[in-house]
Amino acid sequence: MCRRSLFPQLLKRTIKPNGGAADRRSIFLWGQDDLHFARVNVEQAAYIGSAQPADSIRRSNEMSPNTLLTIGQQFSRRSWAEPWKIKMVEPLHMSSREEREKALHKAGFNTFLLRSDDVYIDLLTDSGTGAMSDRQWAGMMLGDEAYAGSRNFYHLESAVQKFYGYKYIVPTHQGRGAEHLISKVAIKPGQYVPGNMYFTTTRLHQELAGGIFVDVIIDEAHDPQILHPFKGNIDLDKLETLIKREGADNIAYVSVAGTVNMAGGQPVSMANIKDLRDLTKRHGIKLFLDATRMVENAFFIQEREDGYADKSIAEILREFCGYSDAAWMSAKKDSLVNIGGWLAVNDEEMFEELRNLVVVYEGLHTYGGLAGRDLEAMAIGIAESVQDEHIQSRIGQVRYLGELLTTWNIPIVHPVGGHAIFLDAKAFYPQLEQIKFPAQTLAAELYLDSGIRSMERGIASAGRNAETGDHNYPKLELTRLTIPRRVYTQAHMDVVAESVRAVYENRDQTRGLKMVHEPKYLRFFQARFERL
């Protein structure tokens, strides 16, 4: 079948080579909307993969202007729907602008300091904010609250071994509990920890253990407009240069995050992790994975990388993890629970050390700061999270919001990633210098407009340089609209998109913020601001 005709919106724009070294024969043809693409085999001049097949109905001249089209039809594809139905609802508070003005002043213009009762649609984070399934809630009733050896721990252990493939598991209360332990065990003071961009808590724990973080992500990740299918990839040349300069013994481990949060939820290719595995093996360096959003990463590999279209998400996840020595996890994301995390390693000696240390900071090694019921919900959530139809609808919803904003020419990070839409605050407010906190300002304005809570991922999140004390000035100044899993509907996404547009239309009026209170650690959580 000639699939070319199914992609009318393609072939109009940029052609970008796939970043994976092992995949040079593929090119990506990106649609004019920056969201849809087809993958083409250059030698055979044939389509070998695509984002979505097209629907036969599109708006035509014969149609009345009043004819309503589904969003799928507008984008020449079949619509998707969630693979679940709603059994219980939680009413939301819809506030007035006056109430929101008061609440925002009280919160020092920091959306982290708002009370959730004052929020209408909460897109602060996808962390611990998902809806559990009826199976997970049923599992909570089967919590074995024994101090030691709870049966739910063994269920979790089996689920991690089965789906992620590591040998030894240590539960922790959430992701940063795991980051703390692994940083303490694996980093000697003064050692370097190269990674694909940074995550706030990950980098802080590495630094508190005496490590020096070095960003070795590909350059494309720092540009919100470049279309690259795997913007989370590690730049192997940058890494090799660091290893040669500092010596392999001075590298604690390479830290790879599956879908890079701070880059806009951008994935890492299988080709890249394989090459990275070869490189680190040659130098005798360990490779550790932040598996927090690895299931979402697996979706992008299935969609975009040669040889993976017919593999299941579970198969791709297992293969990817197989190229690493250890992983830590904030189960509050992919694994569909409100609290929980774990550490997993293949090395028995390291496991012994971690199992000993978890007792000091989290709790006994079979509960790690969690109740038995939490461990059970996590075990069930892991199995639900790797179902192909779940992840397709999860990312489909994020893309839907991205499609709306893109067609309205609102500046967002492209390509749209796995868990959030990132508004490009520098492009939104070109009149604001970075020190006027454009992304923080945008989060505040969105809240005022409609009660939607988003968060800053820019200069406030980047903190200060440990040596000079100056602000870090990240290239990306983003406001994140993070979509909780299985919580909001398409109608909520429409309301969000319209609010972003309303704020965009008033962007010229905005003058920015100044920071008036700055906490020492992870300042973005508790900093306070005033209007300029």
Ligand X SMILES: Cc1ncc(COP(=O)(O)O)c(C=O)c1O
Which residues bind to ligand X, rule: CB under 6 A? 127, 174-176, 199, 201-202, 257, 261, 290, 292, 330, 332, 341
193 close to 416: Cβ distance less than 8 angstroms? no
Across-strand partners of 254?
Answer: 287
**Closest to ligand X by CB, 73 or 330:** 330
Q: How far apart (Å, rounded) are the C-alpha atoms in residues 167 and 351?
A: 9
Q: Is 125 a catalytic residue?
A: no
Q: Which of 299, 428, 447, 524 is labelled catalytic? A: 524
340 is written with which tokens? 């929980």
**Closest to ligand X by CB, 410 or 416:** 416
Q: How far apart (Å, rounded) are the C-alpha atoms in residues 63 and 107?
A: 50
| Least CB distance to ligand X at residue 111 (A) | 15
Phi/psi of residue 285, nearest 5 degrees: -110, 140
Residue number, nearest CB to ligand X: 175
Q: How far apart (Å, rounded) are the C-alpha atoms in residues 489 and 120?
A: 13
Sign for the CA dihedral angle at 461, 464, 465, 471 comes to positive
| Least CB distance to ligand X at residue 290 (A) | 5
| Least CB distance to ligand X at residue 180 (A) | 9
**Closest to ligand X by CB, 34 or 325:** 325
Distances, alpha carbon 190 to alpha carbons 193, 209, 243, 271, 287, in Å: 10, 9, 14, 31, 18
Q: Is 39 a catalytic residue?
A: no
Sign for the CA dihedral angle at 367, 368, 370, 373 comes to negative
Q: Which of 78, 147, 241, 473 is labelled catalytic? A: 147
What is the per-residue burial (b if ≥16 Cβ within 10 Å, else e) of 403-415? bbbbeeebbbbbb
Phi/psi of residue 136, nearest 5 degrees: -65, -45
**Closest to ligand X by CB, 201 or 250:** 201
Q: Is 457 a catalytic residue?
A: yes
Q: Which residue spans within 185-286 are E strands per DSSP?
A: 192-195, 212-215, 254-257
Q: Is 25 a catalytic residue?
A: no
Cβ-based burial of 116 (10 A; exposed 0-12, middle 13-18, buried ≥19): exposed
| Least CB distance to ligand X at residue 6 (A) | 35
Amino acid at 452: I
Q: Is 290 a catalytic residue?
A: yes
**Closest to ligand X by CB, 174 or 440:** 174
Q: Which of 111, 129, 200, 441 is labelled catalytic? A: 200
The DSSP 8-state label assigned to residue 435 in this structure reads: G
Q: Which of 100, 203, 311, 333 is labelled catalytic? A: 333
224 close to 424: Cβ distance less than 8 angstroms? yes
- Per the listing, tokens 């290719």 go with 269
Q: Is 333 a catalytic residue?
A: yes
Q: How far apart (Å, rounded) are the C-alpha atoms in residues 340 and 368?
A: 9
| Least CB distance to ligand X at residue 455 (A) | 10
Q: How far apart (Å, rounded) are the C-alpha atoms in residues 222 and 113?
A: 29
Q: How far apart (Å, rounded) are the C-alpha atoms in residues 410 and 512?
A: 19
Q: Is 428 a catalytic residue?
A: no
**Between β-strands 212-215 and 192-195, what pairing exists: parallel, antiparallel or unpaired?**
parallel
**Closest to ligand X by CB, 324 or 330:** 330
Q: Which of 311, 394, 453, 457 is labelled catalytic? A: 457
Q: Which of 126, 290, 306, 334 is labelled catalytic? A: 290
**Closest to ligand X by CB, 38 or 260:** 260
| Least CB distance to ligand X at residue 239 (A) | 19
| Least CB distance to ligand X at residue 481 (A) | 15
Active site residues: 147, 199-200, 290, 333, 457, 524
